[in-house]
Amino acid sequence: MPCGVGVGAEASNESEQSAMRHDSDDVTHLRTRARTAAGEVLSRIALWTPLPKEALEGAYERIYFYHIRKTAGTSITMAFFSLSGEDPRKVERRLFYTSFVRTGGIRFVEHNAQLIRGGRYFFGASHLPSYVAQPPARGSFTFTVLREPLSRVVSLYRYLRSSDADQGMVFGMPASERAWAMGSFNEFLDRVPRKHLLRQLYTFSSTGSAAEAVDEIGRLSLVMHMDAFGDGLASLQRMTGLRLDVGHERASSDEGVISDDELDRARTMLAPEYEILGQLG
């Protein structure tokens, strides 16, 4: 084949792939707009109906959870969904389509910045950073769970490699992110974007500033830690007046061999998060 034909074919393929990505982005944007519009309508209608099950300690009107991946967040979210008396996976499935659900007298919002800022819910959660999805300052109980940085990243790597980790879940990890872990742990560290590797940092700082993240985390109503999860859960229940039955969701089956050198490299890359935990004590 002449060189000119090969180059032209390659350019054409790249153009087609670019167009496909653009079309995919457009579809995603339209779906997000549709989910937001449906959620807005449903949340306004819900305000006109009695909410017999909703009650929190103190002056709180709502709870918002900053969900960082691989910090037991799915298990916590499912425990809140269970308060409705409905199968929590059915609640999540409905949230996938509308971002807002009222069931069992309880209002839920998930993964929608506009509805989170609106505040018309009893429990809300998302992976969105604090500078994108901020619940109303007044009346909001806010919390997150932090984890030893290396343990979290190793867990993320193994989760992305586990084909069955998202079984039964509607909010699964996209194939593009699973591709980060297709190989050794070193290859994963090369591929994973910094904002995902250091998610505990970037959830609370748009610039990657440990000092800014510490300030933002310090404004939360409660900070739980994975290595003292039972104590944190007890505090969450005491402070909100709720009884939560937290199970174990999204367990990863892949173990993956990781060398000491790879772990040392990851620790170095995660230095800003160790700084955050050190300042928080």
With contact defined as beta carbons under 8 Å apart, do 149 and 209 qualify? no
Identify the pLDDT of residue 21.
42
Q: Which domain holds residue 242?
A: 34-280
**147 in a domain, yes or no?**
yes
pLDDT tens per residue across span 4-55? 434 344 344 444 444 434 444 555 566 666 666 665 655 566 554 545 456 6
| CA 245 to mean position of chain CA atoms | 20
**Mean pLDDT, range 120-137, rounded to an integer:** 95
**7 in a domain, yes or no?**
no
* Euclidean distance between CA atoms 9 and 126, whole angstroms: 42
pTM, two decimal places: 0.81
Specify the CATH number for the domain of residue 236.
Answer: 3.40.50
* 271 has a pLDDT exceeding 50: yes
Separation of first and last alpha carbons in the chain: 65
Residue type, position 162, single letter: S
Sign of the Cα pseudo-torsion (203, 209, 210, 212, in order): negative
72 sits in the region (left: phi over 0; alpha: psi -120 to 50; else beta) called left
How many CB atoms are closer than 10 A to CB 218? Answer: 11
* 228 has a pLDDT exceeding 70: yes
Identify the pLDDT of residue 59.
80
Angle at 142 between CA 137 and CA 145, to 5 degrees: 150
Distances (CA, A) of 206 to 7, 47, 199: 40, 33, 11
**16 in a domain, yes or no?**
no
Residue type, position 132, single letter: V
User: How many folded domains does the chain comprise?
Assistant: 1
Token couple for 161: 């490699």
Identify the pLDDT of residue 130.
96
**201 in a domain, yes or no?**
yes
With contact defined as beta carbons under 8 Å apart, do 125 and 64 qualify? yes
Identify the pLDDT of residue 19.
40
**146 in a domain, yes or no?**
yes
Identify the pLDDT of residue 168.
59
* Euclidean distance between CA atoms 261 and 263, whole angstroms: 5
**Mean pLDDT, range 105-131, rounded to an integer:** 94
Identify the pLDDT of residue 55.
64
* 122 has a pLDDT exceeding 60: yes
pLDDT tens per residue across span 146-171? 999 999 999 999 999 987 666 656 66
**12 in a domain, yes or no?**
no
* 281 has a pLDDT exceeding 90: no
**Beta strand 100-103 pairing with 106-110:** antiparallel
* Euclidean distance between CA atoms 274 and 267, whole angstroms: 9
Which residues neighbour 233 within 8 Å (Cβ) at sequence distance 6 or greater? 224, 244, 246
**6 in a domain, yes or no?**
no
